[in-house]
Structure 1
Amino acid sequence: MSEEEQATLLRKLAREAGIESYALFLPKYEQTARRLGHRNNDPKLSRETVGPRQWSRWLAAKAAPQPYARLILEELFRQPVELLMAPVGTRQMEPASSLSVVQHPHITEEDLLMTAHDAASHAGDAASLSLTPEAIQLLRTQLRGLARSYHQKPAAEIFVKARTIRDTIERRMALTHRPTQSSELYLLAGQACALLASAAFDLGSQDAAETLTMAALTYVRPIDHAPLIAWCGGNLALLAYWDGRPAEALEHVQAAQGLARSGTAKRRLHSIAARTYAHLGDPGRVRYELEAAEQADPDIRDDHHDDMGGEFGFSSERAAMSAGSSWLLIQDGASAVEASTRALDLIQMRTASQRSVKVEMEATVDLALAQLLNTDLASAVATLQPVFDLPPEQRVDGLLARLQGVRSQLTVPALHRHNEAVELGHHIEGFRRDSARSTLPGAPRYQLGS
């Protein structure tokens, strides 16, 4: 059965009318409610409205409309509710459209006055609907706090809290018709989706991370918010090269670089570009991008990478850690040791509350792999000891992928016969089985090579 055949008639008609989106459907629904309430002298019917969750449930036929809602939906779509809730094709549709003028033999003066009254009433309501500045500022503060505490909390906790904020933003969107407030809410919704994308990646779902990044772009492209668009482009590049699509990653990062203005944004994108070129096996471009990342001016700021900051920022230690990863990809062990050591030194200069466990542990694993490239097994074993103390909820996907690189390096001829290499390999396998992903109910554990 095709997707079209499985869809409800309600969804099909709403889609054809261009009002499947809740934001576009709500004004039509409330306008129809006022018209019916005035016609039937029923003030309660005139005030009838619907929330986004209920609209979604109607579209999927997961909830039956109550009496007032039945009246409004049947007036709006010119079909009985039973047919609207049924799959497309259940019965021949009646050729009618709720959004076109209903054909009467005559249009009376009462009809003209009623239409004028509805238009004036809705215009007044639309002009008066707005949120207090404090309501929007509260959402911004909550989101900023979550982004800045990202490095201190498990990814699953971040995901749940960011989802709650995003759901609240969606509900607030229906409560204002002021363009400036709508733009602010679209930006916050995009940032919430971007934070969800980071958490989804750390929890091991690249598909969810990519979808959430695209959702963030969908929110912010209409308001042309270049900093978040650039951040999303970098994230899509990162996801692409982790998935073995470096050519696509390069397209994303080059497009994003054209939008970056702040020093933090440029440093992040040059670092991602270096990793991309490393995946493509181009040492010259790796070096060029890393040098460009170092030259980015941190005093040039923007409201996403810097003012929101946290997970959206790109600290000097994060840049150094990323540089170490790039050198590893082109098998330059000496440069990787230097960059990873610098990342760890910078982290040690932070206070305990400022340190990112994720960046510290990923830089630690990179350093161990660089030491193995230099056939220094004893140093690698010692370097990795702090990593194995991490609780499962902090064993995020980027860390586990790096450990898989260490595991693979232990099998090279120069190392694989050493007892320390065998023991370290077994330790890594056991460590990977219990991860941030495995703490989720019903989630599969890691398998070696995943």
Structure 2
Amino acid sequence: MADFVLSFVVDAALSRVVSLITDEIILAWNLKDDLKGLQESLTMIRAVLQDTEEQQTTREPVRLWLKKLQEAAYDAEDVFDELAYENLRRKVEMQDQSGREVNKFFSFSKGTRYVKKAAFHFKMARKVKNINDLLNKIKNEAMGFGLQAERALGNGPLIPLDSNLEAIGKEIAKKCRGVPLAAKVLGGTMGFNRDKNAWLLIEKSEVLNASHNKDNVVSILKLSFDHLPLYLKSCFAYCSIFPKDFEIAKEELIQLWMAEGLLKPSNKDEGYKYFNLLLQNSFFQDVERDQHENIRWCKMHDLVHDLALSFSKSETLTLENCSTSDDMSSIRRLYVNRDNTTTLMACSKGTAKKLRSLFIEDIVFDGSWKLKRLRTLNLNGANIEELPSSISKLKHLRYLDISETKIEALPESITELYNLQTFSRFFFTQTSKISLLSN
């Protein structure tokens, strides 16, 4: 069976594209005319996503359309992220050059930079135009399929709460048949969305009337997931990258969400809100608190983990779902250790060029891979003694963890990672470099 594309994944990618198209970028690169129709295309496409997710199960052209849109959204994000990186790089260079004496060499250097800027501008303008044309074509195809935007916009005003809400809740509790996990998850969902319409949909769902078995519990979890807002769905699905029974550090998870663009940079308060909502919905459990009762760690129930992986399996390879026959060309998140080193070999051959998050544990990392789209590189516990100077080529890198490694010094080129938001290195003595990278 072909892998289905999930609308919340595509919508999240499109949302990140919208956030990257800032006025500063438009002015800096003179892209006003190129982006004239892009916003309109993005708005139209996002409006029909819910309709496409339902139709792709019976209409193969719609599934292929969604797949094409997903690839276009990721490519667009990479292009605009590179423009933002280049803009930031030039600001840093200008600051470094301020106060320096202008000499003949500098004048020559200035002329060289102008030529490079013109060449870069030409290359990126062509990429932006190609994306604009592609998204416009995709928008027109959506109209040709007869996809409806109205369904994605809702079906009218919500019915206000009334005294029958408690009775509905009791009926739902009965149908859970005393299954603790199902009752906890649905209870969290209903507490999060205290709307009569939503509660009635849950009560009338055929899932709750099915027989009591493991498959039904999974269906109940899926029902709860369906009632999550889009931004929470993406954050939840990301958690599938961790192995089962893994202790997930709350602070680290929020930083990883930021690196993937699921949160705005430096917006930890929003990350805490997302974490607490998923905890409230019982997608997280077994929390561990510090002496001040702040949550430090959590875990996911195995069935909850299976659910998260089912929504991201086309993009995520972990210890639970990888094999030597996997197609690495579309993988964007990868977790490898000694149990699945064969997958690592496939990566080293350059087949995982779209990879955005890479976790390596307990094995050798030689740094020879060409992973130019990488946002997260977690080498915690990897067998590595130094970072290659070529790490500066990872323009999109936002998260770097080299804790519990043998690395004692950092290459000078690491200062060119202008997008880096999080740097982790436990037991590292060169604090001056850490403070530089932690800004």
TM-score w.r.t. structure 1 length?
0.31
Highest CA radius of gyration, 1 or 2?
1
Pick the structure with more helix per residue: 1
Give the strand-richer structure, 1 or 2.
Answer: 2
- Return the structure number with greater relative CO, CA threshold 8 A, min gap 6: 2
